[in-house]
Amino acid sequence: MITLDTVIYNDVVVMDLIIFVAWVTGALVLAKILAIYMKRSFSDRISKPELDKLLKVIQVMLILIAIYFGFPRIEVNLSEIILVGGTASLIIAFASQKLVSNFGSGLFLLIERPVKIGDNISIGDVSGNVEEIRILSTIIRTYEGIYIRVPNEKVFSSDITNYVANAARRFQYVIGISYRDDAEKAIGIISDLLEKHPYVLRHPEPSLFVSELAESSVNITVYIWAPSATWWSVKTEMLWKIKAALEENGIEIPFPQRVISFSGENLPDPGKTAYKAE
């Protein structure tokens, strides 16, 4: 009859085998719980196929660790396995240095979250919207609609500009008006126009001031805060509206111009000329 003390081989008894199986089962359950938790936490940060891959890798690693620590219980000698495995690991590590680097970078990107899916970013010389954040790479769709795959190592080590990471952002216009026109009136017209636009934020409020007495114009600088989600449409929409509103109110936006005065000494005297002609 088989009891808990029944020897299976060497000093390994049935009880040892049960403990080993329970240990590995526990690891399986833990891996499952971890997968559920990670799915909840990361589902909005990473695409589903990539998340599934990541979860599988983590689950397998967890189970392998459990088996590794469980082996002594069933007297499996790991020294040879470690020796062979260690050597193999070194070879694999050298061979897949880039792969591991990208994988590690991918994990750090998920933790640090400098970019999210849908963000409007610039990495190095690549600008566009983040389509996917994969384990090894980040997919960007440029503004021209081109697919670009950037290795995560590059993403991680590059300067990242995220245009929509903050809730709101500021942009500016410099509007030049003629020296003959009233700058205060122009500021009032522009302010009224900005007030009517829903996405020109009330707080922080727009800032308008005469910033420069330039060669051809009096320059008014306009700082506008807009929601990051809509700033581009506001920027492209408002400039022409400002121009139209100013012109409608008789304020001129001048071309570059230069007033040339001639010195009186060098000019012929019109009176004398007329006298001589007589």
Partner 1 sequence: MISTGRLFHIIFRKPRSWRHNYIFPASQFSFVFGEYDYSFRFESPEIVAGITKSGNFVVYERKSPDESVRKVIGSSAGKVIVNPVEPVNLPQEITRFLEIHFTPVVLAPESENQIYVKFPVEIAVFLESKGNYDVLDIFSLNRPKYALYGPPDQGVITRHFESEVFDDIPETDACREGVMELTIRNLTRGWIEVSRVVFENTGIYIYYGDCVSMVGQMDIFSKTNAETKTLACPLRQGMNPAIPLFTARKSLIPENLTFLMEFGVGE
Q: What is the CA radius of gyration of the chain?
A: 36
Residue with tokens 């997919």: 139
Tell me if 109 sits within 8 A of 138, measured CB to CB: yes
In the region spanning residues 52 to 81, those forming contacts with partner 1, defined by CB under 8 A, are none
Shortest distance in whole angstroms from residue 203 CB to partner 1: 4
Which residue in 48, 180, 196, 272 binds partner 1 (CB under 8 A)? Answer: 196
Q: Which of these ranges, 86-94, 180-188, 196-204, 239-247, lies near partner 1 under the rule CB under 8 A?
A: 196-204
Residue number with CB closer to partner 1 (5 or 159) = 159
Can residue 48 be called a binding residue for partner 1 (CB under 8 A)?
A: no
Closest by Cα among 28, 85, 38 to 59: 28
Can residue 49 be called a binding residue for partner 1 (CB under 8 A)?
A: no
CB proximity list for 183: less than 8 A, separation 6 or greater? 177, 210, 218, 220
Shortest distance in whole angstroms from residue 29 CB to partner 1: 27
Can residue 272 be called a binding residue for partner 1 (CB under 8 A)?
A: no
Can residue 114 be called a binding residue for partner 1 (CB under 8 A)?
A: no
Q: Residue 164 carries which DSSP code?
A: T
Kindly tell me the sign of the dihedral angle through the C-alpha atoms of 122, 128, 129, 131. Answer: negative
Q: Which of these ranges, 76-84, 95-103, 162-170, 240-248, lies near partner 1 under the rule CB under 8 A?
A: 162-170
Tell me the C-alpha distance between 113 and 134, whole Å: 13
Can residue 201 be called a binding residue for partner 1 (CB under 8 A)?
A: yes
Q: Which runs of E-coded beta strand occur in the chain?
A: 7-9, 12-13, 120-123, 126-133, 137-142, 147-151, 160-162, 168-177, 207-213, 218-227
Residue number with CB closer to partner 1 (195 or 212) = 195
CB proximity list for 47: less than 8 A, separation 6 or greater? 117, 132, 133, 134
Residue number with CB closer to partner 1 (65 or 167) = 167
Cα–Cα distance list, 70 to 25, 26, 65 (Å) = 11, 11, 8
Q: Residue 197 carries which DSSP code?
A: -
Q: Which of these ranges, 55-63, 78-86, 192-200, 239-247, lies near partner 1 under the rule CB under 8 A?
A: 192-200
Omega cis (within 30) before 204: yes
Q: Which of these ranges, 54-62, 80-88, 89-97, 223-231, lies near partner 1 under the rule CB under 8 A?
A: 223-231
Q: Residue 215 carries which DSSP code?
A: S
Which residue in 13, 99, 100, 229 binds partner 1 (CB under 8 A)? Answer: 229
Can residue 118 be called a binding residue for partner 1 (CB under 8 A)?
A: no
Which residue in 199, 219, 241, 252 binds partner 1 (CB under 8 A)? Answer: 199
Task: Fill in the per-residue mask, 121 to 160: x = in contact with partner 1 (CB under 8 A), - = not in contact.
Answer: ----------------------------------------
Counting residues that bind partner 1 (by CB under 8 A) gives 16
Tell me if 66 sits within 8 A of 116, measured CB to CB: no
Binding site for partner 1 (CB under 8 A): 165-169, 196, 198-199, 201-204, 225, 227, 229-230
